[in-house]
Chains A and B, each alone.
Chain A
Amino acid sequence: QQQVKQSPQSLIVQKGGISIINCAYENTAFDYFPWYQQFPGKGPALLIAIRPDVSEKKEGRFTISFNKSAKQFSLHIMDSQPGDSATYFCAARGLSKAAGNKLTFGGGTRVLVKP
């Protein structure tokens, strides 16, 4: 039933490298695609988000790329730092009001940045 598939499940990158996380969705009735970052023992926190009418959004070292026709979107973390070590979740929001603004989440990616 999972409508948002996320890969990889885990990722190890050297400090200064690029982390790339991919998500694919199966339902076209989504209108908003956020990414969340979660540190151990904490709740997820909104990192960056994109709407489907935009192909790319950049905030600092974090960039979302969105491919509407392929129903795919990805998170790139440039110049990865040890402080970026966390679990990242992609999500998609249902389009209709009946969807109750619900977010459907991917399975998560644990990122470890080695110094």
Chain B
Amino acid sequence: DAGITQSPRHKVTETGTPVTLRCHQTENHRYMYWYRQDPGHGLRLIHYSYGVKDTDKGEVSDGYSVSRSKTEDFLLTLESATSSQTSVYFCAISNAGGAGYTFGSGTRLTVV
């Protein structure tokens, strides 16, 4: 996925621990998004950013926080991981025209 990198690709963590996922882009796109993908639910928006330090909630934001201190990085933090947050997390970027997203390769998170 040219221009967008997610890390880590896989993570197993224990219930109650904080977890941070990183999304890094080299496209200088304004918009960045975090989605989670679960069977039967498609892709659901967690949080998004429309500029440095400008973020807003999506439809499933409870238990998650985000930060964007520079254009290229968008961090997703699970403040206290729960088993219900076991999922595949995708970051996406979009330019100002919003013609479409470019997705990262995803992070598979397992909370045990």
Q: Once the chains bind, are A100 and B101 in contact (CB under 8 Å)?
A: no
By the criterion of a CB under 8 Å from any partner CB, how many residues of chain B are at the interface? 27
**A-B Cβ contacts below 8 A, count:** 58
Q: What residues on B are CB-neighbors of A36 within 8 Å?
A: 101, 103
B111 at the interface (CB under 8 A from A): no
Interface contact B105-A42, CB-CB below 8 Å = yes
Q: Which of B81-112 contact A (CB under 8 A)?
A: 90, 92, 94, 98-106
Report chain B residues within 8 Å CB of A101. Answer: 31, 50, 94, 98
* Binary flags per residue of B11-45, CB closer than 8 Å to A gives 1, else 0: 00000000000000000000101010000111111
The 24 sampled A-B contact pairs (Cβ below 8 Å) are A1-B59, A32-B98, A32-B99, A36-B103, A42-B106, A43-B1, A43-B90, A43-B103, A44-B101, A44-B103, A45-B103, A46-B100, A49-B100, A89-B43, A101-B98, A102-B58, A103-B45, A104-B45, A105-B35, A105-B42, A105-B44, A106-B42, A107-B40, A108-B42
